[in-house]
Amino acid sequence: MSFEQQVLFQRILLPGLASLVGCWLFLSSKSESGGEEDATYPHARWKTLLGCLLIGGSLLVSDFWQRELLWDPMAWTSWTASYRWQWLIWLIPGAVLGLGLLRLFSVSEREQSALVWPALCLFAIGAHYLTIFEPETWPNWLTPMFQAILIGSAASILNMASLHSLVATGASRWTPLVLLAQLGCVAAIAIQSYASLGEWVLTGIGVTLGATCVSFFYSAKSRLFGVWPLAIALYPIVISASICLLSTGYFRSRPLPIGLTGVVLFLPSLVGFLDFVYGRYGRPWYRIVWAAVACIAVLIAVILITEPFQSDW
Residue 26 belongs to some domain of the structure: yes
pLDDT band at 273 (very low <50, low <70, confident <90, very high): very high
pLDDT over 50 (residue 124) = yes
| Distances 282 to 122, 166, 272, 288 between C-alpha atoms, Å | 36, 14, 15, 11
Would 312 be classed as within a structural domain? no
Q: What is the pTM of this model?
A: 0.90
Within-domain flag for 231: yes
Taking all residues of the chain, what is their mean pLDDT, rounded to a whole number?
85
Predicted confidence (pLDDT) per residue in 40-78, tens digit: 445 677 888 999 999 999 999 998 888 777 777 777 777
- What whole-number distance in Å separates Cα of residue 6 and Cα of residue 4? 5
Q: Is residue 125 part of a domain?
A: yes
Could you tell me the residue range of the domain that residue 150 belongs to?
A: 3-69+82-305
Q: Does residue 25 lie within any of the structural domains?
A: yes
In a domain, 265, yes or no: yes
Nearest partner of 131 among 263, 250, 234, 254, judged by Cα? 250
Number of domains in the chain: 1
Q: Considering the domain boundaries, does residue 75 fall inside one?
A: no
pLDDT in tens, 281-292: 667 778 888 899
Is 310 among the domain residues?
A: no
